[in-house]
Amino acid sequence: MRNRFMIEGVSVSPDHFINGKRVSSPSTFETRCPFDWANKLADISRGDAETAALAVTAATNAFPIWANMTSAERRKYLHRLSDLIEANQEHLAIVECMDMAMLHESLRLRVIARGALNFRNYADLASEHTERVWSSKGTANRVIRHPAGPAVIITPWNAPFMLSTWKCAPALAAGNTVILKPAEWSPLSASLLGDLIEQAGFPPGVFNIVQGLGSEIGNALVNDPRVKRISFTGSVATARVIGKAAAENIVPFTAELGGKSPLLVFADADIDAAAKKAAGQYDDSGQVCMAGTRIIVEDSIRDIFLEKFHAYADAHVLGDSRDATTTMSALIHPTHAERVMGFIDRASAAGDIIERGGNRVGGSNFIEPTLIIPRSNDSEAVQNEIFGPVLTFQTFSNETEGVALANSTAYGLSAVIYTGSAERAERVGRVVRGGTVWVNTFLVRDLTAPFGGIGISGLGREGGDYALDFHSDLKTLQILEDSVV
């Protein structure tokens, strides 16, 4: 095991966490600070197929111990972990800020706390679960949840701590053991989670963390026949590869695959509130899967909306994620910044209008807040997920046309609607495609509600009992009434 390293005064391990111990690999990959790319944070253990097999073995061996506990017993572990997350909120926030570039204030005040809430809420949901009981055709019936087995959790580089806890919490609460594979561009807060798991006293092997490239260790994990559940958040292309492996082994698989969500604004809306929320889609430099990146505004309010939107967008400040005055920081990696700039350059070359921004500034990973007015709805910038600080702007003349534009991509993760009409909110909210549709608000989440996408935005649902059911084998037990005493 290599020595731990320090980030802003916080000790972090560069190694895997397997069977309750740190395990190193001879080869490594580096992680750097996105807003200060010259600052190499660490060399991280780069796992391979052997590492994956070691972690799955640990999870398989620990499964009977964890699965045979009652929900109430597992709840104690998960509550202890939640308490430890809250106690270490500052450390987790600064490490993720340096590793992923999400704003420190946002992490400290909101995002890390959500991670603690994830573990507490799922622990409570699982322990308070009531079996469905009914009579049918002379039999007494019950639906029983059984833990499924080792679960592989693969998380993306954006909001890595929150998304890791969101996906691992229901797996653990349901009685499964876990192998977490964080993204190689932002692995450090997951490593800290391993430390907290150890402090919470989890039995060895219940929770494991392996680091490395998806094509190497990730591929080995999803192809291991001992794995009984796979939960993935990331790209459509990677999901297709994982889906084939899951199908080969007949393993249930959920995938959340990003979006190209509409932000639909009607003339009867609070235009100022809608414009402010639209400019807020640049938060985290647009690296938010649910962001309303396609602004679609009724013709009659086009000019006043754009005036207000530009005023709010002008207020964004690019800079160091640790600085409280910064509202937009760097993109995660130069490779990703180049990808985003490719969309902008191709849009300009194809005749789309770059209404604002469109340039790299202040460093290799910084891109200005950019707004594109496409030449047509078929524009690449409209149809494909960019995952950067790039929005498109379109107009419509009536409700039917607005809904048609909103539903005109292959994605369907979420949607945002602004209207002052309760009837329209209900009517349009029902027909706009999206796993979650917000009206006159954005990113308000009830953790018991189903979450997931339609179309190429995903497969399956997370959240509340939906996630606990996914991580369980459901059994119907039927007993002939009056046949036993």
pLDDT-derived band of residue 2, with 50, 70 and 90 as boundaries?
Answer: low
pLDDT-derived band of residue 348, with 50, 70 and 90 as boundaries?
Answer: very high
CATH number at residue 404: 3.40.309.10
**What is the predicted pLDDT for the residue at 198?**
98
Q: Identify whether residues 196 and 319 lie together within a single domain.
A: no
**What is the predicted pLDDT for the residue at 219?**
96
Is 364 part of any domain? yes
pLDDT-derived band of residue 364, with 50, 70 and 90 as boundaries?
Answer: confident
- pLDDT beyond 90 at 367: yes
Q: What number is the average pLDDT over the span 286-293?
A: 96
Is 484 part of any domain? no
Is 120 part of any domain? yes
Is 483 part of any domain? no
Catalytic residues: 256, 289
**What is the predicted pLDDT for the residue at 424?**
98
Q: Identify whether residues 285 and 327 lie together within a single domain.
A: yes
**What is the predicted pLDDT for the residue at 290?**
95
Q: Identify whether residues 283 and 204 lie together within a single domain.
A: no
Q: Identify whether residues 24 and 97 lie together within a single domain.
A: yes
Which residues does residue 265 pair with via DSSP β-bridges, in sequence order? 297, 418
pLDDT-derived band of residue 3, with 50, 70 and 90 as boundaries?
Answer: confident
Q: Identify whether residues 44 and 157 lie together within a single domain.
A: yes
**What is the predicted pLDDT for the residue at 356?**
98
Is 246 part of any domain? yes
Q: What is the pLDDT of residues 426-480, one digit of tens each?
A: 999 999 999 999 999 999 989 999 999 999 999 999 999 999 999 999 999 999 9
Q: What number is the average pLDDT over the span 150-159?
A: 97
Can you tell me which residue has the tokens 């045979």? 68
Is 144 part of any domain? yes
Q: Identify whether residues 116 and 16 lie together within a single domain.
A: yes
Q: Identify whether residues 226 and 116 lie together within a single domain.
A: yes
Is 174 part of any domain? yes
**What is the predicted pLDDT for the residue at 213?**
96
Q: 71-87 and 188-199 helices cross at what angle (nearest 10)?
A: 120
Q: What's the predicted TM-score (pTM) here? A: 0.96
- pLDDT beyond 80 at 362: no
**What is the predicted pLDDT for the residue at 96?**
97
- pLDDT beyond 90 at 271: yes
- pLDDT beyond 70 at 1: no
Q: Identify whether residues 457 and 414 lie together within a single domain.
A: no
**What is the predicted pLDDT for the residue at 419?**
98
Q: Identify whether residues 128 and 72 lie together within a single domain.
A: yes
Domain tally for the chain? 2
Q: How does the average pLDDT of the chain come out, rounded? A: 96
CATH number at residue 223: 3.40.605.10
**What is the predicted pLDDT for the residue at 109?**
87
- pLDDT beyond 80 at 363: no
Q: Identify whether residues 186 and 46 lie together within a single domain.
A: yes
Is 64 part of any domain? yes
Percent of the chain beyond pLDDT 90? 97
Q: What number is the average pLDDT over the span 321-343?
A: 96
Q: Identify whether residues 23 and 86 lie together within a single domain.
A: yes
Q: Identify whether residues 435 and 467 lie together within a single domain.
A: no
Instruction: Please give the residue range of the domain that contains residue 24.
Output: 5-257+453-476
Q: What is the pLDDT of residues 175-222, one digit of tens each?
A: 999 999 999 999 999 999 999 999 999 999 999 999 999 999 999 999
Q: What number is the average pLDDT over the span 85-112?
A: 96
**What is the predicted pLDDT for the residue at 117?**
96
